[in-house]
């Protein structure tokens, strides 16, 4: 069983949407009312109590608190408490320059929260939300239609968060419980992450999958070119800083989308192959795998790796596959055949070359070492002869993305 958040677009007629937005606007007014109370008290007396008890009393004096569901109003109260908690934590740490938590803009629509068993029902795509019993217009609940991904069936909805922003309009975020798939076997695979090959996976029979990192690189190269035309952020040009942030977000989104495709494909293949455990390096060697001479890598160097680990872990979880992190120290420098560690001169055109005669795709060598670290056995040892076999790489196509795959074990031994 896994818990995940499903985002859904809220479809509602004009009147329903107006009521919903009014409830969200009530939440903003309540938030500001509570903030005002605490700030006022703090400014007058130098202290204030951001406690539930204290704020519940204030909540009763705020007429707009009746404009939306009572448990949602309590959630607003908790948001205020949270804001004050971090404010007090900062002051305690001696950072007294911070001001008391600020107001939300009057025109903002604040989120509405619902918890399992209280104030909402979901039947098919029909979401019914209770708005409490105290609204002036007398509306007690609204029903909206949700538009969401269809490929996922869930058994329970633990909660709903309703948000609004200008780009997406009203959105429902459903926290759902999904039954995880069961692994089909007990095979194992180890993963090495890199730049040239984003993912190199070696299975327990020596089969190796290579997912090229070329597209990730080209996305970053493109946005680097765009960035070069924009003045760097500085104190005197805030607008440009904003443009910088925008570029960063667009770039991240594109890279993330690509990584989603790669990791989804990889985890699915693992599942089909009967894998129940994936070993990934713990990224201790992250520096040695990044070519810092490349201008691209001055920035954003580590995050794609962490993203991949996060995505693989999450998706594997949905497939009932366990992910373990293992030490990857020296895995890229160690010869998988003879165990010798050498710092330099290991790579020639993507090949790991050792004096002992071992010569394989460098990332496959690294992945084999991670496999060895995780499972205490080599994925490349032929059971019959005890000899270490050599992986051979074949390119295959995955949509618009190029993936490389090895031949079967039989071919490897040849």
**Residues at the contact surface with Zn ion, assessed by CB under 5 A:** 335, 337-338, 340, 354, 356, 358
Residue among 244 and 358 whose Cβ is closer to Zn ion: 358
**Dist. CA 141–CA 16, nearest whole Å:** 9
Residue among 89 and 356 whose Cβ is closer to Zn ion: 356
Nearest-approach distance from CB 342 to Zn ion, in angstroms: 9
> Tokens standing for 396?
């295959």
Residue among 144 and 337 whose Cβ is closer to Zn ion: 337
Helix (H, G, I), strand (E, B) or coil at 194: coil
To the nearest 10°, the Cα dihedral for 48, 49, 53, 55? 50
Residue among 262 and 337 whose Cβ is closer to Zn ion: 337
Instruction: Render 120-135 in DSSP notation, one character per residue.
Output: EEEETTEEEEE--S--
Q: Are strands 112-115 and 156-165 parallel, antiparallel or unpaired?
A: antiparallel
Intra-chain end-to-end CA distance of the chain, in Å: 43
Q: Are strands 197-203 and 208-212 parallel, antiparallel or unpaired?
A: antiparallel
Nearest-approach distance from CB 362 to Zn ion, in angstroms: 13
Contact of 194 with 200, CB cutoff 8 Å: yes
Sign of CA dihedral 399, 349, 329, 370: positive
Residue among 40 and 340 whose Cβ is closer to Zn ion: 340
Nearest-approach distance from CB 173 to Zn ion, in angstroms: 52
Adjacent-strand bridge partners of 10: 146
Nearest-approach distance from CB 255 to Zn ion, in angstroms: 35
DSSP label at 347?
Answer: E
* Exposed / middle / buried, residue 77 (Cβ in 10 Å: 0-12, 13-18, 19+): buried
Nearest-approach distance from CB 337 to Zn ion, in angstroms: 5
Residue among 190 and 335 whose Cβ is closer to Zn ion: 335
**Dist. CA 69–CA 120, nearest whole Å:** 10
Nearest-approach distance from CB 206 to Zn ion, in angstroms: 17
DSSP label at 341?
Answer: B
Residue among 89 and 355 whose Cβ is closer to Zn ion: 355
Indicate the length of the chain as a whole number: 414
Nearest-approach distance from CB 393 to Zn ion, in angstroms: 19
Residue among 172 and 388 whose Cβ is closer to Zn ion: 388
**Dist. CA 326–CA 372, nearest whole Å:** 10
Nearest-approach distance from CB 92 to Zn ion, in angstroms: 56
């Amino acid at each position: 069983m896994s818990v995940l958040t499903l985002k859904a677009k809220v479809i509602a007629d004009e009147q329903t949407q107006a009521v919903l937005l009014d409830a969200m606007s009530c939440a903003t007014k309540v938030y500001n009312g509570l903030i005002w109370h605490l700030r006022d008290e703090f400014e007058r007396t130098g202290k204030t109590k951001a406690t539930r008890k204290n704020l519940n009393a204030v909540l009763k004096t705020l007429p707009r608190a009746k404009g939306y569901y009572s448990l949602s109003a309590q959630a607003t109260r908790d948001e205020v408490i949270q804001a004050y908690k971090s404010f007090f934590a900062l002051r305690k740490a001696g950072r007294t320059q911070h001001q008391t938590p600020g107001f939300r803009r009057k025109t903002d629509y604040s989120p509405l929260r619902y918890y399992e068993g209280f104030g909402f029902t979901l039947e098919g795509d029909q979401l019914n939300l209770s708005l409490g019993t105290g609204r002036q217009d007398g509306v007690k609940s609204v029903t909206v239609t949700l538009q969401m991904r269809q490929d996922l069936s869930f058994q329970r909805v633990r909660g709903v968060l309703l948000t609004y922003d200008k780009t997406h309009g009203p959105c429902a975020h459903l926290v759902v419980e999904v039954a995880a798939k069961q692994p089909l076997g007990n095979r194992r695979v180890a993963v090495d992450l890199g730049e040239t090959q984003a993912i190199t996976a070696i299975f327990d029979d020596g089969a190796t999958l290579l997912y090229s990192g070329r597209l990730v690189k080209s996305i970053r190269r493109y946005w680097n070119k765009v960035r070069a035309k924009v003045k760097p952020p500085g104190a005197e040009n805030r607008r440009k800083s904003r443009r910088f942030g925008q570029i960063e977000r667009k770039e991240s989104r594109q890279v993330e989308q690509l990584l989603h495709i790669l990791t989804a494909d990889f985890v699915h293949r693992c599942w089909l192959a009967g894998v129940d455990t994936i070993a990934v390096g713990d990224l201790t060697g992250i520096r040695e795998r990044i070519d810092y001479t490349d201008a691209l890598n001055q920035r954003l160097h580590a995050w794609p790796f962490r993203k991949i680990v996060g995505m693989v872990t999450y998706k594997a979880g949905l497939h009932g596959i366990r992910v373990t992190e293992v030490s990857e120290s020296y895995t890229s420098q160690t010869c998988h055949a003879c165990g010798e560690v050498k710092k330099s001169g290991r790579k020639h055109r993507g090949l790991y070359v050792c004096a002992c005669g071992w010569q394989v795709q460098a990332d496959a060598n690294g992945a084999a070492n991670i496999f060895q670290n995780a499972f205490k056995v080599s994925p490349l040892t032929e059971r019959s002869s005890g000899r270490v076999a050599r992986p051979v790489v074949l390119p295959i196509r995955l949509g618009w993305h190029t993936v490389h795959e090895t031949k079967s074990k039989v071919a490897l031994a040849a």
